[in-house]
Structure 1
Amino acid sequence: MIMINIQQIDKVINQGPFQDNWESLSSNSIPQWYKDAKFGVFIHWGVYSVPAYGNEWYAREMYLKDSANRENKQVVSIFDHHLQTYGPQHEFGYKDFIPLFKAEKFDPMAWAALFSKAGARYVMPVAEHHDGFQMYNSKLSPWNAVQMGPQRDVIGELKNAVEAKDMNFAVSSHRAENWWFFDGGMAFQSDVQDDNYRGLYGPAQPRDPEWTIHGEGPDEAFLTDWLLRTCELVDLYQPSIVWFDWWIMNVRFKPYLKKFAAYYYNRAAQWGSEVAINYKLDAFMHGTAVFDIERGQLNDIRPQLWQTDTSVARNSWSYSVNNQYKDPADIVCDLIDIVSKNGCLLLNVGPKADGTIPEEDESILLAIGEWLAVNGEGIFDTTHWKIYGEGPTQSGEEMHTEGNRSPYTEKDIRFTFKGGTLYAYVLKLPSHGEVVISSLSLDSRHFRSVIKNVAVLGQGGVAWQLSEDGLVIDTSNIPPTPYPVGFAITMD
């Protein structure tokens, strides 16, 4: 493998159909496979999986004595936990976890088989997190999983396993945050300040949230390195999606984002592939990539495909001994809500350092897969309908608002559509023996067609009638379930 350089990047941009400006990039189309996929699996696995305490920001917070943990509320802070468990930070730094990250039980084929059974259509491992450790065979830094730790090309092995199961392979890059991620560690001269470890810890510049507004922040050397790393990822693994975390929103990234997108889209054109970029906030121009909301949803249909990324645990993306797991039935409800609004759900799991997937994560995935095996007809390959649904429950429109949503109720119904069939999912099955879909009433302003038949997905036909109140469906013979119940409503 030849090390990539800026001249090669410019050559691909200059000779391809996409140029590094928003007008040109807006002509890229969202892949049809992505619109049809609806459900993917995210994987946060790296050196931070070794301490397995707090969350994936352990690398940063182990150096911040006064830092309040972002998501966990454990009694002992990450800083104190590290001090008590591993010793002073200047004697045992984050770099010292790398030899302990052995991945001795990592079985990519077993992972792929699980994700396929869960119903995932695409799989996205973290290629590089904020900690600067690459999980792939990079020529740009020795701080990677091939030369250290597992001594395996984790991303390459996963790509082969995922594609063998006919799922699309994607990668995420969280590299941008490495500019400031270890700034707290600058107080520890023999660790983060040591130039021998600069390739891992990065510039360790002070974090200033105002950088996004005022344009201060990463210098040219860091930004060029960021561009080279992301383009190297593209060349090595030809991913179907490249996902970026939020800090590329920094204004100094703008010209580099355009260069990367032009390079990636042009390379995809050479391969004959359909690809996409995920972004948060307004990092990319509307219409040039796929909008992503971290731990949040939308309140209505978005005409352009969008995505929610969230995790099976409420408090962490990586494996942690104190993870607070979600109920799989609630995750299924969110999946339906997201799909009804023209979105996809990217659901994260956090393997242990040895490469095994925790029983809780596996159990959640299998439960979702079991539900999709019966009800996926109205999820996969569908589009949104005229309206997303009905009922009182609203989702947050911002990042990190999923915890603010009220529980779904018996009146919450969500719609999808495919080939003359309207799918209606009742998110909580009523106990009184009938479902009333008011959006399909005789005087509905949304519906002026003919209903030919109504069936319960996985069970068959059911009694129904149209009234001024709505489509009334007899549910008295449907067994009680904590999961949503889907109805296929055939129209003419």
Structure 2
Amino acid sequence: MLKNLLALLPLIVLTFHRGTLDAAPPTAAISTSTSTATETNASSDIPTIEPNWESMAERYHVPGWFVDGKVGVWMHWGIPSAADENRPNDGSHYGRLMYSVVPDDFTGKLGMGETLTKWHTERYGHPSEFGYEKLIPLFKAEKWDPDSLAKFVKHNGARFIMPVATHHDNFDMYDSFHPWNAVKMGPKRDTLKEWKAAAKKHGLKFGVSTHLYWSPRFFANARKYQKPGTPEWSLFNMDYDQRGYASQDTWNEHWYARCWDVIEKYDPDMFNNDSPYPSAKTGNNLGLKLFSDYLNRDLQENNGEQTVVLSCKDAKADRAGFTYNLERGSSGEIQPTPWMWATDLSGGWFYRATAVNRMSIPVMIGNAIDAISKNGVVMLNIALRGDGTIPENQAAYLTAFGEVLRTNAEGIYGSRPWKVYGEGPLEIKTGRQGENKKDYSQADIRLTTKDGNLYAFVLATPTEDIVIKTLATGGVLDKTIESVSMMGSDETISWTRSEKGMTIELPKSLSDELVVGFKVTLASP
């Protein structure tokens, strides 16, 4: 414990000098307790979640606003957003790959990193002379209007937003005790503060996403160009071992303090940890300590009721204890706990004009409804330009999805999975980094339920009568169907039901709807 305290002294001094101790958590918050018991807080009688998955799984409850809201928008935006938009593919890791210097005698085929470094050298200068830090003045956010962006995403179906607070490049997009931040340089604005104000104005929940833990390794190739005593020393994490940082107390405590700073200052409704975290084995369990402290803070402030969402990508942890971020993945079945399907509309996470989204708009919308039918919540990333505007091709995805959501809102928001998710020939596999990019057909049907009724979504514009085999007599639906209506239309819908399924006669009023939704009203018990 003394070692931990000594490591925190510079931070405590810094935050005291700034006139607040918000950036550094109380000494007690850095406790490395790993008790498996769920104890009771003597001061309030509110059970305390201990920093282990057993206790978190016992106490974690996903709040209604998240599972009812269904749709959120993630925003990757920062220094790389302002680099030349015609740059080659950087895999959203410009700051890492730009230091992949090619030897003078190299004759092989250039990889992504070498290609980017060659391009960067020709466009800006050699990394030894024009390092990543020199891109920051290009990031001005001169046209950024968070109010209009929040209004736009809400109009198109979002119920919460989640900007990136810190990416792997160690640059904070908020008023941070870390000197490399968007208030002191670049935009010179507290973007998290403004995002949150815009969210509140438009009735959206506000989340934050941190990707910080990778950053000592992220800048491994940049280290040979850094000089002691320069401001850049801290940007490139020179005080931490590029390979062994996960076992360094100083790094793990620094990570905790940076994350707690965000939580204390911006009180997010959702905290997404998009990278590893300090483990119990090598990091004094500060990862689970942060997560449990975040949840306990919320419980204390809300009389024991959880109002926040904690998400991360740890596929090995008990998913009853957090909300799993299934980034770029999919689920082949209904999951027992709510989960998050996170995907990117730009084709590259951070803005690049040459990026291509290989998932079409109809497929993205079908994937979203597929996820919702399987207890998922949708998180769509938009990659803003460096000036803060949304590119037209990404706006087109949101606009199209918004039209589908407005028409079919009754069967989406507040809905829950039914006994089965639906049916269809398109195979959806469970796992990360394997999201579907294939077209849906009218035989691909997804089901949700709300208020005792069913909602059936046809994931492609039908051209003939629609047959839903799942709703056959004698099957899983053991109630009588009273009526069927098409959401967004006053047309009378003709239908029949037999042992082969429910058949809906092709509606006459179909236009170019990407998804057609039907309300199936069931008889009361």
Q: Same fold (TM over 0.5)?
A: yes
How far residue 376 of structure 1 moved from its aligned partner, in angstroms, is 1.6
How far residue 480 of structure 1 moved from its aligned partner, in angstroms, is 4.2
Mapping 1:39-438, distance limit 5 Å? 39-51=71-83, 52=85, 53=87, 54=89, 55-65=91-101, 77-139=115-177, 141-189=178-226, 195-203=230-238, 217-248=246-277, 252-253=282-283, 255-272=285-302, 274-282=307-315, 284-314=317-347, 316-325=348-357, 326-402=359-435, 405-431=437-463, 433-438=464-469
1:61-106 deviation line (CA, Å, top 9, x unaligned)? 1112469xxxxx9899221221111010010000001111111111
**2:487/2:518 contact within 8 Å kept:** yes
**1:248/1:283 contact within 8 Å kept:** no
Identity %: 32
In structure 2, stretches of 5+ residues that fail to align are: 1-19, 34-40, 104-110
Instruction: Note closer, same or farther for the CA distance 1:485–1:204 as it changes in structure 2 (3 Å cut).
Output: farther
* Equivalent position SS for 2:416: coil
Instruction: Note closer, same or farther for the CA distance 1:327–1:286 as it changes in structure 2 (3 Å cut).
Output: closer
Correspondence for 2:5: none
Correspondence for 2:510: 479
Bigger mean CA offset, 44-53 vs 173-182: 44-53
Correspondence for 2:108: none
**1:254/1:283 contact within 8 Å kept:** no
Instruction: Note closer, same or farther for the CA distance 1:84–1:482 as it changes in structure 2 (3 Å cut).
Output: farther
1:197-243 deviation line (CA, Å, top 9, x unaligned)? 122111497877xx8xxxx8341111101111111111111111111
* Equivalent position SS for 2:213: helix
Looking at structure 1, the residues matched to 495 and 102 of structure 2 have their Cα atoms a distance apart, in angstroms, of: 61
Looking at structure 2, the residues matched to 198 and 74 of structure 1 have their Cα atoms a distance apart, in angstroms, of: 26
**2:100/2:114 contact within 8 Å kept:** no
How far residue 33 of structure 1 moved from its aligned partner, in angstroms, is 1.1
Looking at structure 2, the residues matched to 309 and 198 of structure 1 have their Cα atoms a distance apart, in angstroms, of: 34
* Equivalent position SS for 1:159: helix
Instruction: Note closer, same or farther for the CA distance 1:424–1:133 as it changes in structure 2 (3 Å cut).
Output: same
Letter of the 2:502 counterpart: L
Looking at structure 1, the residues matched to 154 and 290 of structure 2 have their Cα atoms a distance apart, in angstroms, of: 30
How far residue 394 of structure 1 moved from its aligned partner, in angstroms, is 2.1
* Equivalent position SS for 1:302: coil
How far residue 483 of structure 1 moved from its aligned partner, in angstroms, is 0.5
**2:170/2:236 contact within 8 Å kept:** yes
* Equivalent position SS for 1:417: strand
How far residue 362 of structure 1 moved from its aligned partner, in angstroms, is 1.8
Letter of the 1:148 counterpart: M
2:42 matches 1:22:
no
Instruction: Note closer, same or farther for the CA distance 1:164–1:56 as it changes in structure 2 (3 Å cut).
Output: same
The total of aligned residue pairs comes to 474
Looking at structure 2, the residues matched to 324 and 249 of structure 1 have their Cα atoms a distance apart, in angstroms, of: 35
Looking at structure 2, the residues matched to 65 and 402 of structure 1 have their Cα atoms a distance apart, in angstroms, of: 33
* Equivalent position SS for 1:40: strand
Instruction: Note closer, same or farther for the CA distance 1:428–1:75 as it changes in structure 2 (3 Å cut).
Output: farther
Letter of the 1:64 counterpart: S
Instruction: Note closer, same or farther for the CA distance 1:156–1:64 as it changes in structure 2 (3 Å cut).
Output: same
Match for residue 493 of structure 2 among 450, 462, 474: 462
Instruction: Note closer, same or farther for the CA distance 1:249–1:376 as it changes in structure 2 (3 Å cut).
Output: farther
Instruction: Note closer, same or farther for the CA distance 1:428–1:194 as it changes in structure 2 (3 Å cut).
Output: farther
TM-score of the two chains, using structure 1 as the length reference: 0.90
* Equivalent position SS for 2:197: helix
Q: Over alpha carbons, which structure has the higher Rg?
A: 2
How far residue 365 of structure 1 moved from its aligned partner, in angstroms, is 1.3
How far residue 406 of structure 1 moved from its aligned partner, in angstroms, is 3.2
Letter of the 1:58 counterpart: Y
How far residue 280 of structure 1 moved from its aligned partner, in angstroms, is 0.8
TM-score of the two chains, using structure 2 as the length reference: 0.85
* Equivalent position SS for 2:218: coil
**2:273/2:312 contact within 8 Å kept:** yes
Looking at structure 1, the residues matched to 133 and 257 of structure 2 have their Cα atoms a distance apart, in angstroms, of: 23
1:249-305 deviation line (CA, Å, top 9, x unaligned)? 866357112210221112112332601211113364332111111101100000100
How far residue 19 of structure 1 moved from its aligned partner, in angstroms, is 2.5
Correspondence for 2:15: none
In structure 1, stretches of 5+ residues that fail to align are: 68-72
How far residue 327 of structure 1 moved from its aligned partner, in angstroms, is 2.8
